[in-house]
Amino acid sequence: METAADLVFTQLGVGSQAVPYLAGWQLQRRMHERRVGDQIPDSCLLLEHEPVYTAGKRTGVLDRPIGDPGAPVIDVDRGGKITWHGPGQLVGYPIIRLPDPIDVVAHVRAIEEALIRTCAEFGVVTGRVHGRSGVWVTGGAPAPGTAPPVTTAAPDTWAPPDSNAPPDGNVAQDSNVAQDGNAVARDGKAAPDRKVAAIGIRVARGVTMHGFALNCDCDLSWFDRIVPCGIRDAQVTTLSAEAGRTIGVTDVIPLVQRHLADALGASGWHVAQGADTLLTPALAASPPLATT
């Protein structure tokens, strides 16, 4: 996949500086509008959110939490159903102009590839599951510090919902299924597939928004309060659970930057110091703040 220019990253906030979801969404929309108008280059926000459930366009009544889930539930304009964001999860929002002819599936595959490579850096071997977006650990449970055998699948013919409607389209963020999610096999049986990263995007006027969520060391019990996409034959996991050691969001960010820029075909990548810098029209012409 190719992009026309460098990719610019900005880290909005992690830990105690986690970003409220509505503030992040508003910033995405401002950036999307400016990218459509070629006022900023291809960009990607990296952050943690305060705890929140986001419900995509296909979320059904029975998918939602019953009672008070302990975090707000916000309806959003991406594809897919409901999921959770919060502490211990790296969220990335690529604001990318897709090349013509627009290929939404190829964009999703590129993000998946970047996250697969990132997980591999920590000794966690992941891949794709046919018919389901995102990045998965498949097969039996891992021993601490090791990764289970898995084949990294090549892009297949699966087309996400709405991906055939460019330049405006939505890709489902599907099958964030969460029971116990601790990657432990029981009674000698192999553990179900375990999702470590989810993807849900929207493409409007040829530019992407929303993006991916990589579970680093988050509390998986948040997922128990929803029925994400109605898929019950899989689990959610974290990099920390699979690697047998703590892997935090800040550990992952530098690797995600490098692998995402490479997978998206960017000619290089830079780091902008905050959203105000990223939204400055002169950024594209200014010297890079950081580069590979």
For residue 165, what are its two tokens? Answer: 């409607």
For residue 49, the 8-state DSSP code is: B
Neighbour order of strands in the sheet with 73-75: 73-75, 52-55, 82-85
Half-sphere exposure of 25 (CA within 13 A, CB side): 14
Could you write out the three-class secondary structure of 28-87? HHHHHHHHHCCCCCCEEEEECECCEEEECCCCCHHHCCCCCCCCCEEECCCCCCEEEECC
Strands (E), the chain: 7-13, 43-47, 52-55, 73-75, 82-85, 89-95, 127-129, 132-137, 169-171, 193-204, 207-215, 234-236, 269-272
For residue 238, what are its two tokens? Answer: 């974290």
Annotation marks residue 229 as catalytic? yes
The CA-atom distances, in angstroms, between 122 and each of 79, 170, 213 are 30, 31, 17
Bridge partners (DSSP) listed for residue 269? 7
For residue 148, what are its two tokens? Answer: 């289970």
In one letter, which amino acid is 30?
A: R
For residue 21, what are its two tokens? Answer: 């979801």
For residue 16, the 8-state DSSP code is: G
Which residue numbers are catalytic?
Answer: 229
